[in-house]
């Protein structure tokens, strides 16, 4: 077992509502953006984590009492990833080697995730493809979506048209799509994937969308409407 030595040199006070305190303007902005998205009460920690003689600077955010997170506990892992990504997006990439996110649910269950700078940069680099997919889906450019697929996993054109058209007739047109996190998944069929979790707004309903991309090629592999 690898021994991990954690040297915490600063613990920030509880952050809630308008009383947001952070050590840098970027830290403060990160916390503000997380609370803008999720609400709740937040605590942050900063420190150095040493693994096999290599020191890694980390920033950790712990959140509880978030109504949005508590409404969808089955998506806590992807919400933790989203929190880490929000923090990363509001920081200089070289500020921290690791971003940690910990969620405490209403029943006391806690979910913790740690992401390296490399992993979060990977999400940032694929984000233009996510935005392209969302634009095509919202504008009903189904050919554009089909062209994004890896040829090995590309479905038949009529199946995509029929499925998406059917959803529109039942739920209404998509007004907007919100990114809500991601998971890195090694799938026996799809391979090394990044699963993007989103939510769409349609006529007062908010159905989820899961979109899988190949981590290496950034090609679209699968779309789910769970």
34, part of any domain = yes
166, part of any domain = yes
Percentage of the chain modeled with pLDDT above 70: 90
Residue 22 has pLDDT above 50, yes or no: no
How big is the CA angle at 26 (ends 21 and 28), to the nearest 5 degrees?
Answer: 20
Quickly state the pLDDT bin for 147 (edges 50, 70, 90): very high
Please count the structural domains in the chain. Answer: 2
Domain endpoint, select from 108, 138, 170: 108
Domain endpoint, select from 108, 136, 156: 108
Quickly state the pLDDT bin for 205 (edges 50, 70, 90): confident
pLDDT of residue 11: 37
* Residue scoring higher pLDDT (18 or 162): 162
CA–CA separation, 15 and 64 (whole Å): 11
Q: Tens digits of per-residue pLDDT, 39-58?
A: 999 999 998 988 778 899 99
Quickly state the pLDDT bin for 197 (edges 50, 70, 90): very high
159, part of any domain = yes
Q: What is the CATH number of the domain that holds 59?
A: 3.30.300
**Residue 167: burial class (beta carbons within 10 Å; 0-12, 13-18, 19+):** middle
First and final CA of the chain: distance in angstroms? Answer: 38
Domain that holds residue 85: 4-108
Structure-token match 């420190």, residue found? 47
Q: Tens digits of per-residue pLDDT, 206-218?
A: 999 999 999 999 9
State the average pLDDT over residues 154-183.
91
43 neighbors 16 (Cβ within 8 angstroms): no
State the average pLDDT over residues 185-190.
92
pLDDT of residue 23: 76
39, part of any domain = yes
State the average pLDDT over residues 98-108.
96
Quickly state the pLDDT bin for 226 (edges 50, 70, 90): confident
Same domain, 55 and 142: no
* Residue scoring higher pLDDT (205 or 115): 115
Percentage of the chain modeled with pLDDT above 90: 74
CA–CA separation, 59 and 10 (whole Å): 10
113, part of any domain = no
Residue 71 has pLDDT above 90, yes or no: yes
* Residue scoring higher pLDDT (60 or 20): 60
Same domain, 70 and 101: yes
Domain endpoint, select from 108, 140, 166: 108
CA–CA separation, 195 and 205 (whole Å): 22
Same domain, 135 and 190: yes
Same domain, 129 and 75: no
């Amino acid at each position: 077992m690898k021994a991990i030595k954690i040297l915490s040199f600063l613990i920030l006070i509880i952050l809630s509502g308008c009383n947001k305190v952070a050590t840098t303007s970027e830290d403060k902005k990160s916390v503000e953006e997380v609370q803008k998205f999720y609400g709740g009460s937040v605590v942050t920690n900063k420190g150095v984590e040493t693994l096999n003689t290599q020191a890694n600077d980390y920033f950790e955010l712990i959140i509880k009492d978030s109504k949005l997170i508590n409404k969808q506990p089955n998506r806590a892992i992807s919400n933790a990833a989203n929190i880490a990504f929000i923090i990363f997006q509001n920081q200089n990439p070289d500020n921290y080697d690791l971003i940690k996110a910990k969620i405490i649910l209403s029943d006391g269950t806690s979910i913790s995730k740690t992401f390296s700078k490399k992993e979060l940069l990977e999400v940032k680099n694929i984000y233009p493809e996510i935005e392209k997919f969302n634009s095509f889906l919202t504008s009903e450019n189904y050919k554009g979506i089909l062209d994004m697929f890896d040829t090995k996993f590309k479905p038949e054109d009529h199946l995509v048209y029929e499925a998406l058209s059917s959803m529109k007739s039942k739920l209404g047109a998509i007004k907007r799509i919100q990114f809500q996190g991601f998971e890195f998944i090694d799938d026996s069929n799809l391979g090394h994937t990044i699963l993007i979790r989103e939510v769409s707004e349609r006529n007062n309903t908010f159905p989820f969308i899961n979109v899988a991309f190949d981590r290496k090629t950034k090609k679209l592999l699968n779309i789910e409407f769970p």
